[in-house]
Each structure stands twice: as structure tokens, then as C-alpha cells.
Structure 1
């Protein structure tokens, strides 16, 4: 899917995954923003209306609420549902009820909504929930309780909420005083009681599928949740000082320190970086796929590690020079170099092999990724895609339309 500079939209890929927009193409004009669930899309038009397409039970069919979708300001997605914030602060939800697509039980509470966050379920599961921050700093949740949709046990504490972060089936809210309130599935970080006394002056929170990691004001880190998914950082606790940022794969964390070094933890999913530890110096940015990490160093080179297809970049290592940005699909990486060319590695069917389009990947400005494919926007506004057809890697059917972005 690509939004053109005139506001119209073109898509590619199988219809059941949201790739067939022929039925709504005439309506996809003056598009302002687009959001995606796993297999459907929702576009906000300039007049505040919404057009959806893709798999019906993943939010691609909004006919039941279409009359309500007016003056839409924002749309947020779980795996199989959408939630739209209207100009008056109310919310309209649609899609799979098990993914938060039905908010009728709390509809009268959803007033003056400012932000919405969604849990994202886990592999092989579709239960997801939404959490909305209201103008007064309180929170309203809906969706399956197992995914964090029931916050009644902590409702009295959810006041002056500033941010909310979500794991697969739990939420963590940072309050105005820097403390944290959690709820949802305990095995996914919904129970932070063991570390509650340490959660003070929290600045940021990051989440893997089953755990959370909070950066405190002094640069230290507090973790909780499933030990095997990064919830236990005791083995590296003494090294987690002056932390600047944290990135998460689905089961591990990578923290960049102020001196440019990196500390990782978690059992698998890139939590063990010992093989490359001596190379992780002057790190500028880290990108994560579900199973791997890729770090851009100050000299523009790249270091990769993990347990998936993207962990081994040896075949292209001599090409990874002057890297500016990296994007990740489900099991591959794509790096934009300073000259606008692209280097890819990882699983072929997830975009790790771009040889078929390499001659076209020039003057690349940005790269976007689905789970199975990449789309590169060139300096002239055209688009080049590669990867698995299922994920949008084949744009040949609409290639002539991809001339403006």
C-alpha cells in the first residue's frame, strides 16, 4: 500500500490480506492517514470520513459503523480491529470483538479521548485489547480481560496518566509522578508488584511480547514480566547504567548506553550479544526484528545478532558502509546507504533478497516494511517493492500508478 502525493492510494498483494482496493479505489482520494491491522487497512480522508478494505473480520469491513465514522482524527489498530478517535473525543471501534473491535460496553465512558494504545496479542493468538487515555488523565479499557481489556482492579490508581505501553497481553501506564501502574496477564508483565518500589521517576517504557523494561531518570533500568522474555535483567543489572534508549524484539531487550555500548538480555530472540559484544561500540541506533537486532555504528557500519534469519549479515558485510537507516520485516533487514542504495539480508521470502530489483534501488529516501516485504520510496516519488507477494512484495499490477507518493 502506498499513499500518493495527491492523497490517493494504491495497494498490492492478495485481496484477503488487504491488497485489493479496487472496490474502494474511487473513494480513496484526499487520504490524510492510514492505519493497518494484520490483514486490513483503514484510511482517514480529508473530510474526516473513513474507508476500509481487506479481510472483513480483521477490520476491513466497517459498514456496521460507517455512519458513525465522521470527523475522525486518529485511528489505532490491534491485530484484527480498529479504534477511531472522533473530533468530539468519542471512539468508534470495529473488527473482531476478540481483538477489541467492540467497545459498546464502555461507550459512555469514552469521552474526550486523547490517546489510544493496543495490546498486540502473541504468535498464534488474536486476543487484543485497547486502552484509552482521557483528557483528565484517567483510562478506559475494553477487549478480552486476558489481553488487558479489564482494568477494574487498578482503576482507582489510573489518574494523571501520561503514557501507556503494551506487551502482547498487558499494559503499563506511566503516571505524572513517574510511577507505573500495570494490568493484564501476569505472564506478559501485567503484574509489576515485585518491582513496584523501584518504579519511580520512570521516563520511558519498552515492551517485548511478555515483559517490560523501564528507564528511570538516573539512567538505570527496571524490568518485570516473563523472565525468559526479558523480564529478568539480574545478569546484566550492574551494567545497566546511563541507559539512553531500549529496543525490544519479541523476547529480548537491547539497551544503548551513553558511551555507545550495548547491553542485551533475554533467553533467545537476540538477548545474547556476546558473539559481537566487542564490536558494539559507538552505537547510534538499533533496529529490531522479532528475533534479531541490527545496530548502526558511528562509522556507518552495521553489527547484527540474534536467533533468526537476520542475525547473519556476513554475506553483505562489506557492502554495509555509510548506513543511514535500517528497517526490519518479520525476518529480514534493509539498510539505506548514504548514496541512496540499499543492502538487504535475511530470509529471502521476507525481503532479504532484493537482487531482482537492486538495479532500481537508487536514491532511496525511506523504506517501509510489512511482515514479509519491503517498499522503498525513491527520490522521484516512485516506489520499488520486493519480498513475498503475500506481504506486498509484488507491486507489478499497480506499478504504473506508483509514480507519486
Structure 2
């Protein structure tokens, strides 16, 4: 089913020219105070709350400009249809931070904007989206924001690629379609360390733009995200032809993947090599996860570098479990191995679940041909090779008068 939010895109485009308050807005920023609907053309730090605004709050209207709300609010009076809390169209390297934005159609709307930062904002009560990236919004960072009671949380669409969404809290996405994070026809985005709670529908929703007719959402990476609660749909929904989307250490309980789409799920694995008591440096660790393999050497702490291990792949409606195996070896030692087996949770140092491979030493020395004294067996154990008579001395493991 095509979501209502996607259907509204053309409506928004059609009416933006008529409704945008920028046509009558003044320029502001620097030492010039900003009022509702003004265009920020210089760095500006708010010193008081703004609003209630009858339309859009503020418009970012120059490259490289920073809006620092300093904890102050931008609010709407509710009369402006398709109003934006903060709006940016066609800018580069802007920053919007420390803003409290409440009650607009979209809290922050971003079109054709690149290399920009949206940090530490509190966004509430938006009808559609807390943050909306539309078309060609590349290399931006959405970081440390708190979104609650927004229509669809964060919505990114149409060739908006290589963005980073990290360390945000997103709660109560109230629309019953889409998710709290939504990708439509975008690629190579990174979603890291977010906490998402109580969606009306899904936590994450990936699909083609314009449903089945546009490009899919491909090669996106989700890491270390925590999902709390549940919605009316699966935790993660991948529709259309959206491929090579990876979820590492994400606490999702269910997913729905269309026949033309892909989802990879995985976990972190640490491999440690010891000799039963102490770490073994310089051991060779070989690892394989069906689609990749590696070989590396342990350091002083006995660990190989942490790996992201695929637990299963969802291809075209079919789930394929992936096996992981690891082996360790070192000259003069008996090798050890783990697996092959499916990894279904993190296996890391911090929780004591790392894969531990123990190498026992192969003795290389004994007392053969020796008359006396002691000798190291090559594994740190001193062997007693006997003693000489009273009139003899043990010299180089030989008894001499």
C-alpha cells in the first residue's frame, strides 16, 4: 500500500511557492534580530523565544550559516498549512542547533542541502516529520536530537545519500504508516547509536521512491540502535527493490522483507587467543563468515580485531543463515578452533562472551641424551634430567669428574 506521506510530496512541491513566507520575509542574523518568517543570512544566536508564528519559523538562506537557538523555542500558532519550523532549500554547510521546535507541519525541512549539521534540537508535535530531507541532501549529520510525537520522525528521500543519523532519541512516531526512520530511494546512509521508542507502525521503513516505480533504498548501514516497545507493523519493513541494507547490533524483534529486497543482520564478535591462562601474542587467527574471510595476528592482549559477523541474510523473501568459524595457530602450539556455527547475539569482551581459542604448547625438548641438570621443554616447564655422583659435576647437562 502506498503511504499517505509519500502521496503528499507533490502537493508540498505544488504549494510551496504560494505558501512560503520567504516572499515577504526580511533578512536577519548577526546583530539583526530574527522574526517569524525571516531569512537567516548570517550566524545568529537567539536570545528569546520566537513565535507563535503564523507560518514558517525561520528560513536558512545562505551557505555556511549557523542558527543557534541557545535552548529557545520556535513555535507555531497553528494557522499555517505546510509550515516549517526551520526551512532550508539549496544551502551548503549550514548548522541548526540547540533549538526547541514545536507544532509545525515539519519541524525541520531540508531540500537540496549538503554538508550540514543538525544537532541537539528538541522537535515535538510535527504533523508530518521531525526532520525531512528531500532530494539531493547529501553528506549531512543529524546528531543528538530528541524527537517526540512527530508524524514520522526522520524522513529522507530521493537521492539523499551519505548522511549520518547518530545518537538521537526518537519517541512516539504517531502516524500509522511508515516508521520512525524512513528512507525512500536513498543510499549509503549510516544510522548509528539511536534509541527509538513506541512507534505507531515500524521503527525503520525502507522502500523505493514513489513506491515501486523509483529507485530503491540501497547499501544503508544500521549499527548499535536500540528499539523499545513495538508498533502495529514489523519492527523493520523493507519494501520494493531495496538491497544490501545491513543491521549490526540492532535490537529488532521482527522484519518484513519484500521479494525484491535484501536485509542482512549481524553482530559483533571478538576472538581472543590464550594458552589456558595468559594471552598469546603473535598467533594467527583465520576467520570465515561465508561471504568474507580474514587472517590476522593477535596483539599483546591476545585479541584479533573485532568483526561484524552476519547472522542471516534475507534475500527475496527467503532467510539464509550464515555460519561463522575461527581458528588460531602458532608455531610450537597445538591449534584450536570454534564453529562453524551461526552467531545470534554479540560475542564480545565486555560481557564475557568472546570466542576464546586456547593454544596448548607442543614440547620441543626432553632429557634424551642428557645426563643431568634441568632443561626447558620448550613450553616453560623445566624437566629434571637427573643428577651426577658425589665426585662429579653437571656441566652442560653432562656429568664430568
Bin of the TM-score, shorter chain as denominator length? under 0.3
- More strand by proportion, 1 or 2? 2
What is the TM-score normalised by the length of structure 1? 0.27
Higher RCO, Cα 8 Å, sep 6+: 1
What is the TM-score normalised by the length of structure 2? 0.27
Which structure is larger by alpha-carbon Rg, 1 or 2? 2
